A and B are shown apart, each in its own frame.
Chain A
Amino acid sequence: MDAPANDSDHPNLSPRKLNFNAVAALVFIVFGAVLFFITPYQVEKPVVVFGQSLNALDPTLFPRLVALGIFGLGIWYFFKSFSLREHNRFRDLDRAGYVNVGVSLAAFTLYALLMEPLGFILSSVLLIAGLSTFYGVRDRLLVAAVSIGIPVAIYFTFTRMLQVFLPAFPEL
């Protein structure tokens, strides 16, 4: 278990009428209600023989319980939110922080989409070289050595030693 979240560096935080917790609670309430109503349409119907279901447990039971749980807990959370002193840590991010995280996430997503078309080695070289440069590593020789050497090493470790498949080269 991690150390408890500590908002003591925001000592003047007072409960606000509509804080991020209240907004999240409203989202959960709506989500729970929607989930409850779409459940019958998203759960396959069990086979019924002579009016008797072959499933001992209705497959919609647990989903509906979960939906009701989210809805009910959302209501509790909403009322609780007015006494919570938690801080929305997204507010601590400056513009540069948002850019850094956004660029990183975009890189991760592109990497996920391009690993098969480009192959593991090429896509990894591009990711490491691009992100390490973006993160401020200026030693080009080091970046080149690491971005080529490590993916090749990982590729051979997985495919030769562990005998598993990684797409090596671009699909032509």
Chain B
Amino acid sequence: MWDSFLQGIDLAFRFDTFAMMALGLVLGMFVGALPGFTTVMAMAVLLPLSFFLDPLVGIPFLIGVYKGGIFGGSVPAILVSIPGTGASVATTFDGPALTRKGQSRKAMETALYASAIGDFSSDIITILCIGPIALIAMQIGPPELAAVLFLSLLIITVTGDGVFVKGLLMMMFGLLFSLIGQDPIGALSRFTFDFFAIRSGIPLLPMLIGVFALPEILIAVERKAASYMRGSLKIEAGERLTFAEFRRCLRTICRSTAIGTVIGVMPGVGQVVAAFMGYAAAKNASSHPETFGKGELEGVAAAEAANNAVNGPTLVPLLTLGIPGDNITAILLGAFIAQGLRPGPQLFAEQGDIVFAILIAMVLANALFLALGYVLIPVFARVVTIRKGLLLPLTIVFAFAGSYVYRSDPTDLLVLVFFGIFGYAAKKLSFDVAPMVMAFILGPPLEYSFGQTITLSQGNLAGYITTERPITVVILILTPMIIYALWRKSARMRREFAAAE
């Protein structure tokens, strides 16, 4: 593991890696600054670009989009009280009030520094922890993996939005979609209805773009997408953030970083929860909580540090177990698979140097992030004025082009449209698509590891796992308890969100 880390340091320092990361950061900030356009959508649309690049260039590019997008959402959140991404909702509590006081520049700089520090710190912690976790993960065999995958699917479902039973139904549909094509054990055809186009299953990329990008576009066009912001969005050329003000926010930034890091490791939770919890913790700990919500710099720092601190740790369950914790890591998983890197217990043993190189590049990206953010803040303030009527068709063209080049198969475009309609209907009827996507991705390895377990058990499944795989038994016993505890906590958090909003 240590050797892989050292080799990774060698591999990480490449000009093209940094160039593409910078491009990804800029694109991510651009999309994040556009209200109604999500980071997930940007990553889904830009995913195909990464396929044709070296893994040490393509994956850092997508990570750059991710980081940039989470920060970019704070621009309209602060300037016009419209969160650019879900992660910046908590930033709207204090950001606009600071703008009204003529302190928009201070607020933007606070958001930038808090985001960079939160992201950098959590990335370092990720690199320090991921090695030992990977060593533990390598001891996992098929029975443990099947149990962990099953538990993960349930965790992602119970912590998702909406009603639990509806999440479970979406999970079932994800498993159903994953069954189409060839079974992972014997390569026997299932549910192809003799359509040649789906003999090898539903393609992942068009499905991801369809489910994440198209519904956002359809929701925007409901009102003909004609609306765009007018008026002065010029950042006040007023006072900059002073060192004393920054130092005052430092404790808050550290607290929020810790909160975001812990939340990032947990599958299914994500930036929004981290931002709210970071904000609430800062307000509770403050000696002047009455200033929160009226233009308090610590409020902006708390939310932004927490939501950016999630970025690095979300890669831990992805890289060590192959389990994407949220939609963004599901897209990153698609990128890894396309590059021939299958995240999971064996990834560190087989290609540990490449993985560490990607993680180190991610840490170094924070320096780029600071520099680009500082220079481009005034530019992105204008982004909200771009006409959606032009931007939406351009996004469609890019999405379709990316889906087509994946396999040069025009059927993929119809898959894209189908899942776009599916995702749109799901949004309208309050179904969360995240469990569906996770189940689609995790279904085949779940079935495969279950099949391997059956083979290893030689006909005596219960005896095999109780006598030779006690950890599997422990996981299976703990599963209902964990799900129940998370379900109760999730219900309580939803009540708190509703009250906060």
Contact = CB atoms under 8 A, between A and B. Distances in A.
Contact of B428 (A21, A90, A111): A90
B161 interface: yes
Contact of A100 (B185, B223, B452, B501): B223
Interface string B245-288: 00000000000000000000000111111000000000000000
Interface in B178-196: 179, 183, 185-186, 188-193
A16 interface: no
B482 interface: no
Contacts of A104: 217-218, 221
A132 B405 contact: no
B447 A57 contact: yes
A127 B410 contact: no
Given A1-B272, A70-B176, A135-B224, A59 B190 contact: yes
Contacts, number: 219
Interface residues of B, number: 83
Contacts of A169: none
Contacts of B123: none
Contact of B498 (A6, A87, A112): A6
A13 interface: no
Interface string A1-18: 111111010000000000
Interface of A: 1-6, 8, 20-21, 24, 28, 35, 42-46, 54-57, 59, 62-63, 66, 69-70, 73-74, 76-77, 80, 84, 86-90, 93, 96-97, 100-101, 104-105, 108-109, 111-113, 115-116, 120, 124, 127-128, 131-132, 134-137, 142-143, 146-147, 150-151, 154, 158, 162-166
A70 to B, nearest CB: 5
Contacts of A124: 397, 401
19 contacts: A3-B497, A4-B497, A24-B429, A43-B191, A56-B185, A57-B454, A62-B443, A73-B172, A87-B430, A89-B430, A90-B428, A112-B413, A113-B413, A115-B410, A135-B226, A136-B224, A154-B397, A162-B405, A164-B408
Contact of A43 (B190, B270, B272, B427): B190
Contacts of B105: none
B451 to A, nearest CB: 4
A66 B172 contact: yes
A105 B497 contact: no
Chief secondary structure at chain B's binding surface: helix
A158 B428 contact: no
Contact of A1 (B159, B188, B218): B159
Given A89-B430, A104-B218, A136 B394 contact: no
Interface stretch (B293-301, B382-390, B472-480): B382-390
Interface of B: 49, 52-53, 86, 89, 159-163, 165-166, 168-169, 172-173, 175-176, 179, 183, 185-186, 188-193, 214, 217-218, 221-226, 268-273, 326, 387-390, 392-394, 396-398, 400-401, 404-405, 408, 410, 413-414, 416-417, 420-421, 424, 427-430, 434, 443, 447, 450-452, 454-455, 494, 497-498, 501
Contact of A162 (B49, B269, B416): B49
Interface centre among B397, B443, B452 (most CB of A within 10 A): B397
A44 B192 CA distance: 10
B430 A77 contact: no
Contacts of B388: 135
A2 B420 contact: no
Contacts of B494: 4
